[in-house]
């Protein structure tokens, strides 16, 4: 069921620690039991949302892909 989300301006966003100097980065925010993800250079109200479990699986998969580096 769709849930209402606060406007992006009212959300506390965190930038990736791997952000480029030009500000090109991914930002995430925790909203209730969900994670919102956005491109900081794009439209502020355009977000990808997923639940925490899917976010954790995504991060684990990324870490696993680069474990040998």
Query: CA 57 → CA 10, 24, 47, distances in Å?
Result: 27, 24, 19
Comparing 46 with 29, the larger pLDDT belongs to 29
The predicted pLDDT at position 4 comes to: 56
Question: Has residue 2 been placed in a domain?
Answer: no
- Give pLDDT, residue 3: 57
pLDDT in tens, 13-45: 888 777 776 667 888 898 888 998 888 877 767
Residue 4 domain flag: no
Q: Tell me, what's the pLDDT at 18?
A: 72
Task: For residue 30, give the H/E element and its range.
Answer: strand 26-31
The domain of 18 spans: 11-65
By residue count, the chain amounts to 69
In a domain, 33, yes or no: yes
Q: Per-residue pLDDT averaged across 3-17, rounded?
A: 70
Model pTM score: 0.67
């Amino acid at each position: 069921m769709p849930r209402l989300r606060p406007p992006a301006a009212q959300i506390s966003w965190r930038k990736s620690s791997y952000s480029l100097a030009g500000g090109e980065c991914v930002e995430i925010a925790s909203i209730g039991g969900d994670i919102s993800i956005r491109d900081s250079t794009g439209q502020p109200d355009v977000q990808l949302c997923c639940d925490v479990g899917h976010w954790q699986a995504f991060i684990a998969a990324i870490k696993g892909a680069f474990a040998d580096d």
